[in-house]
Chains A and B, each alone.
Chain A
Amino acid sequence: MVRYIAYRSLVAIFLVWVVVTLVFLLLHLIPGDPAELLLSQGSIAPDPQAVAALREKMGLNAPLWQQYLDHLGGLLSGDLGASFRDGAPVIEQIATRLPRTLEVIFTAALLASLAGVPLGTWAAIRAGGKADGFVSLLASAALSTPVFVVGSVVILIFAQQLKWLPAGGFVPFSEDPVQHLKLLILPAGTVALSLWAVITRMTRASVLEVLERDHVRTARAKGLGRNTILRRHVVRNALIPVLTVLGLEMGTLIGGTVLVEFVFNWPGLSGYLVAAVDARDYPEVVGIVMTISVLFVFLNLVVDVVNAALDPRISLVTP
């Protein structure tokens, strides 16, 4: 197990390096001068003096390899540079906003799992029946509706028409816990919907597969009760792939809550990213992309380790 975690961690560090390099190359190897690109608005050529100043500021005059090493060195010491817009350290903004994004994602994952695992299991036991068809259709519809559509419609219904919940915004938990949670419900619920669909479908498929396995028949032959079999011999085994998918989805969400944060005015990391992209604030964009990528890789690592704990056979596959 320890060896396995060490191995997976090495792979994760390698992946982070790949991402860092990829982003660096994307921004530096594209045809044209990044400084010029960043400053140009439409077809208007930017002021050459401004370009020269920006080149100096971005360190673009140094040879590429040196820029790359500087870049890596900066990342290692936790220095993500300063924003072009206000000169504030990027890392500070990230430290304030990241927890808010994670809060939405984890709440959504919790809601989605609580609803998705039982429903997926229930549908699998009745596979081919009417109930199963209904759940599958519901999941398909949920998966097909883009998150900003869900968000907008949810605001229309719950905030505009029914006036049950505020349409959006953010209040720190320390200031007003109740209002904070009220504001959390709609964005988390919106993210949870598509996550719920994924978990339900995955659980259903996985449970169906496990039900066919011999060890379930053994469990019946032992005289175990229906619920014990379901809990310990079906769902327990079926959860392993579901967890993997949940982890991957959460990783994608860290960068993918952009739309939800925009819709609900939730001042998280992704919203910050959009603003940075809009303003072409190069250090901000790079800093956020790095943070998200590292988290993405880290989440995958956690999923791998949790999987190994759930399925003792996995740690054997270490090369």
Chain B
Amino acid sequence: MSRSTRKLLLPGGIVLALVTVLLLAPLLPLHDVRAMDIPNRFAGPSAAHWLGQDEFGRDVLARLIWGGRASLFIAVGSALAAATIGTLLGLLGGYFRGVVEVLTVRAAEVLLCLPPLLLALLVVTILGAGTWPLILALTLLYTPNYARVAYAATLQVRGLDYVTAQRAMGAPPLTILGRTILPNVLPPLLVQMSLVVASAMVIESGLSFLGLGVVPPTPSWGLMIRAARGAMEQAPMLLVWPSLALAGTILTFNLLCDRLQTALDPREVTKGGALWMRRPGRRKTAAARRHGAADDNGPLVEICNLAISVGRTPQIDLVRRAGLTVMPGETVALVGESGSGKTLTSLALLGLLPDQLRVSAGEMRYRTRAGAVLDLAQMDEEAFRALRGPEVSMVFQDAAAALNPVHRVGDQLAEALRAGGLTGERAVQARVVELLRHVGIPEPERRRRAYPHELSGGQRQRAMIALAVANSPRLLVADEPTTALDPTIQAQILDLFRKLKTDTPDMGLIFVTHDLAVVSELADRVVVMYAGEVVETGPVAEVFARPKHPYTAALIASVPEGAADQLRAIPGSVPPPHDMPPGCRFAPRCDHALPQCTSRVPETSHPEASRSSRCIRWKEVC
């Protein structure tokens, strides 16, 4: 039994017990609900009257149970009636559409123009108070809900292949509706049912409380509360019992609805939130280890043996033994298929990994402008915040999603500048315009007032880049910045990156991509990742000319080139993280694999000083 099903037991059990007691009320040894006992009015609990006696000396427990019967009868009765009528209307409207839809679903929705309690009051005005007018009013009130839910569900189901197939085979509409569609739309209707019962009880008790619902002397919780208000000073408990019963019952039905929803639609994740938002202290508290000032010619960033993992028992490594080095002014391309871990590695550099993931091993040594060396793997959110912007920055793949839709582009830029320490409104605005012009956005004075959705795809990506370079970062990480764009725009954005490199010669750039053509155009060095591991590194020209890892070779061979007449796809696909082969991760797809490849993890070899390969057969591969 799943967790969500188990959670159904509590509210389900209570509802069942409640219904049983209320149904069995005539058989229970209860006092007559109308039997008055004036001398003993307001008497407290006794052996004969467990919950005491009310203002006429009637037994409170008996009235509570019979009152619940009345409330539940009205609520369930109207919920069932509304369900039947509403579902029928929704099914018909959703299946036939057109005029039928207007006559059924849309007609029912007209009722939603009136506030609910008002509609009920109107019906009561016309028909007078009483149980049946109440049921009619509540049925009217909830029919549109069911019609809507059934309509939406029917629309979803009717497009499915097996329904189309039945129609094609000539099954009459009623058969399809009853046999195929109805069972499929039942789950959302079930959820609706518990919700409506709860809501109907609220309105029923409210109307009864006003004296417009259940007519005395029939007991009802609403009426009991009404009566108890007059006697608050003598017997406050008279108010408490029906209040508890009413609120408890409604709470149970609401709970049942919530849990039914979770049980029927398990997609919803229960864990969430944002760890990075919480005050520090629960995460790694240690500030970065300082390695002292290194020499000025050292690398800007050096990743060694990095592992990024999810879960603790078992811990699954999404990235492991990853390493790369970026010198000041150098452009390093990070390439690999989707799922190779290149985006995770770059997010880790800014401390932006999703909450479920963490850096579980390795070092990411970063040399700051001041010359201090920090281990990014040990830093917490606060420490990262000081780095983001002036030291490390990132261009994201999908600029449309990465920019906040409710703020003007210029305001988003200004915000970054202020975070970077720029003060004075005029200075900030001047810099905003300058940055927008720098990244090639025409009419920057006007465009800074535009919202992201008012810009074209290419301009949005330019704005994203402006945001990333606003505080002149020393290391810029670009995560597939051209993937979402069409080819002509891609070329323009690449030109922009080239321009940025010339304008800021000391800035290191990590360019994540799966496009090898881009790599050869833009990058100095290339790092190839496969299934979470770095398999080969080296200068771009050399790696492309003589790859030293079968995966790199296969990747290069798969690029369609004008001259090459055959395109070779890499057979198979990247293994999922929880099911990695024990030895070399590429072995199952490798043409050169030997028996020992599948049993032992290959060590990193260095064919040349500037190159590395994680393949035991690198000498023979090319």
A residues whose Cβ falls under 8 Å from a Cβ of B: 15, 18-19, 22-23, 26-27, 30, 34, 37, 42, 124-129, 132, 140-141, 143-149, 152-153, 155-156, 160-161, 208, 211-215, 217-226, 228-230, 232-233, 236-237, 240, 251-252, 254-256, 258-259, 262-263, 273-274, 277-278, 280, 285, 289, 292-293, 296-297, 310-313, 316
Partner of B415, one of A27, A228, A237, A296: A228
* Assembled-state Cα–Cα distance A233/B401 (Å): 13
Is B82 engaged at the interface, CB distance under 8 Å to the other chain? no
* Assembled-state Cα–Cα distance A146/B239 (Å): 13
A144 and B225 form a contact (CB under 8 A): no
Report A315 CB to chain B, min CB distance, Å.
11
Report A303 CB to chain B, min CB distance, Å.
15
B404 and A30 form a contact (CB under 8 A): no
Partner of A233, one of B125, B126, B211, B404: B404
Contact with A along B121-148 (1 / 0, CB 8 A): 1101110100000000000000000000
* Assembled-state Cα–Cα distance A140/B350 (Å): 39
Report B516 CB to chain A, min CB distance, Å.
26
**Taking each of A223, A258, A311, which has the highest tally of chain B beta carbons within 10 Å of its own beta carbon?**
A223
- A148-B206, A215-B402 known; A208 vs B273 contact (CB < 8 Å): yes
Chain B contact residues, majority secondary structure: helix
**Taking each of B126, B232, B255, B396, which has the highest tally of chain A beta carbons within 10 Å of its own beta carbon?**
B126
Report A104 CB to chain B, min CB distance, Å.
15
A277 and B274 form a contact (CB under 8 A): no
* Assembled-state Cα–Cα distance A230/B202 (Å): 37
Residues in B whose Cβ lies below 8 Å from that of A218: 396, 402-404, 464, 467
Partner of A254, one of B115, B247, B454: B115
A126 and B273 form a contact (CB under 8 A): yes
Residues in A whose Cβ lies below 8 Å from that of B439: none
**Taking each of B240, B277, B387, B388, which has the highest tally of chain A beta carbons within 10 Å of its own beta carbon?**
B277
**Taking each of A147, A219, A222, A278, which has the highest tally of chain B beta carbons within 10 Å of its own beta carbon?**
A222
The 10 closest A-B CB pairs, nearest first, are A223-B389, A255-B115, A223-B388, A127-B273, A144-B251, A127-B272, A255-B118, A214-B401, A128-B271, A145-B247
A127 and B271 form a contact (CB under 8 A): yes
B415 and A222 form a contact (CB under 8 A): yes
Instruction: Tell me the nearest residue of chain A to B454, going by C-beta.
Output: A312
Residues in A whose Cβ lies below 8 Å from that of B111: 22
B419 and A222 form a contact (CB under 8 A): yes
A22 and B113 form a contact (CB under 8 A): yes
B246 and A129 form a contact (CB under 8 A): no
Residues in B whose Cβ lies below 8 Å from that of A221: 350, 352, 388, 393-394, 396, 468
Is B416 engaged at the interface, CB distance under 8 Å to the other chain? yes
Residues in A whose Cβ lies below 8 Å from that of B211: 278
* Assembled-state Cα–Cα distance A42/B127 (Å): 10
Report A210 CB to chain B, min CB distance, Å.
10
A217 and B402 form a contact (CB under 8 A): yes
Partner of B113, one of A126, A280, A293: A293
Contact with A along B377-401 (1 / 0, CB 8 A): 0000100011111100110101001
Is B79 engaged at the interface, CB distance under 8 Å to the other chain? no
- A124-B273, A152-B243, A221-B352 known; A258 vs B415 contact (CB < 8 Å): no
What are 10 A-to-B residue pairs whose CB atoms are below 8 Å? A19-B113, A126-B278, A144-B250, A145-B250, A156-B239, A218-B464, A224-B419, A232-B404, A274-B212, A312-B451
Is B96 engaged at the interface, CB distance under 8 Å to the other chain? no
* Assembled-state Cα–Cα distance A160/B230 (Å): 12
B404 and A220 form a contact (CB under 8 A): no
Chain B residues bordering chain A, tally (CB within 8 A): 79
Residues in A whose Cβ lies below 8 Å from that of B402: 214-215, 217-218
Residues in A whose Cβ lies below 8 Å from that of B468: 221
- A26-B126, A256-B115, A277-B124 known; A146 vs B246 contact (CB < 8 Å): yes
* Assembled-state Cα–Cα distance A42/B232 (Å): 32
Number of residue pairs spanning A and B whose beta carbons lie under 8 angstroms apart: 233
A146 and B229 form a contact (CB under 8 A): no
Residues in A whose Cβ lies below 8 Å from that of B464: 218
Residues in A whose Cβ lies below 8 Å from that of B225: 148-149, 152
Instruction: Tell me the nearest residue of chain A to B229, going by C-beta.
Output: A152
Partner of B451, one of A160, A222, A273, A313: A313
Residues in B whose Cβ lies below 8 Å from that of A30: 126
A232 and B273 form a contact (CB under 8 A): no
* Assembled-state Cα–Cα distance A19/B228 (Å): 37
Report B556 CB to chain A, min CB distance, Å.
32
A259 and B206 form a contact (CB under 8 A): yes
Instruction: Tell me the nearest residue of chain A to B405, going by C-beta.
Output: A313
Is B233 engaged at the interface, CB distance under 8 Å to the other chain? yes
A278 and B278 form a contact (CB under 8 A): no
B209 and A222 form a contact (CB under 8 A): no
* Assembled-state Cα–Cα distance A316/B454 (Å): 10
Partner of A146, one of B205, B390, B407: B205
B273 and A211 form a contact (CB under 8 A): yes
Residues in A whose Cβ lies below 8 Å from that of B589: none
Taking A124-B274, A208-B273 as given, write out 18 further A-B residue pairs in contact, using a Cβ cutoff of 8 Å, ordered by the A residue number.
Answer: A22-B110, A23-B114, A140-B254, A160-B232, A212-B272, A214-B396, A218-B404, A221-B350, A222-B388, A230-B277, A232-B404, A232-B407, A233-B404, A255-B114, A256-B115, A262-B209, A312-B406, A312-B453
* Assembled-state Cα–Cα distance A126/B274 (Å): 7
A237 and B210 form a contact (CB under 8 A): no
Instruction: Tell me the nearest residue of chain A to B350, going by C-beta.
Output: A221
Partner of B247, one of A23, A34, A144: A144
* Those of B404-441 within 8 Å (CB) of chain A: 404-407, 415-416, 419-420
Partner of B404, one of A22, A26, A208, A215: A215
Residues in B whose Cβ lies below 8 Å from that of A233: 404
Residues in B whose Cβ lies below 8 Å from that of A212: 272
Instruction: Tell me the nearest residue of chain A to B211, going by C-beta.
Output: A278
**Taking each of B271, B274, B276, B398, which has the highest tally of chain A beta carbons within 10 Å of its own beta carbon?**
B274
Is B270 engaged at the interface, CB distance under 8 Å to the other chain? yes
Residues in B whose Cβ lies below 8 Å from that of A240: 406
A132 and B273 form a contact (CB under 8 A): yes
A226 and B277 form a contact (CB under 8 A): yes
Report A158 CB to chain B, min CB distance, Å.
12
Partner of A252, one of B110, B115, B467: B115
* Assembled-state Cα–Cα distance A193/B390 (Å): 47
B277 and A223 form a contact (CB under 8 A): no
Residues in A whose Cβ lies below 8 Å from that of B121: 255, 258, 273-274, 277, 285
* Assembled-state Cα–Cα distance A143/B388 (Å): 43
* Those of B206-254 within 8 Å (CB) of chain A: 206, 209-212, 222, 225, 228-229, 232-233, 236, 239-240, 243, 246-247, 250-251, 254
* Assembled-state Cα–Cα distance A170/B113 (Å): 31
- A215-B405, A221-B350, A256-B116 known; A228 vs B247 contact (CB < 8 Å): no
Is B117 engaged at the interface, CB distance under 8 Å to the other chain? yes
Partner of B401, one of A26, A213, A224: A213
Partner of B243, one of A153, A222, A259: A153
Is B260 engaged at the interface, CB distance under 8 Å to the other chain? no
Is B105 engaged at the interface, CB distance under 8 Å to the other chain? no
A141 and B247 form a contact (CB under 8 A): yes
* Assembled-state Cα–Cα distance A269/B177 (Å): 46
Report A131 CB to chain B, min CB distance, Å.
10
Residues in B whose Cβ lies below 8 Å from that of A144: 198, 247, 250-251, 254
A152 and B273 form a contact (CB under 8 A): no
* Assembled-state Cα–Cα distance A170/B234 (Å): 25
Residues in B whose Cβ lies below 8 Å from that of A237: 404-406
Partner of A214, one of B117, B398, B416: B398
* Assembled-state Cα–Cα distance A128/B126 (Å): 49
Is B471 engaged at the interface, CB distance under 8 Å to the other chain? yes
Instruction: Tell me the nearest residue of chain A to B202, going by C-beta.
Output: A146
Report A232 CB to chain B, min CB distance, Å.
7
Residues in A whose Cβ lies below 8 Å from that of B113: 15, 18-19, 22, 293, 296-297
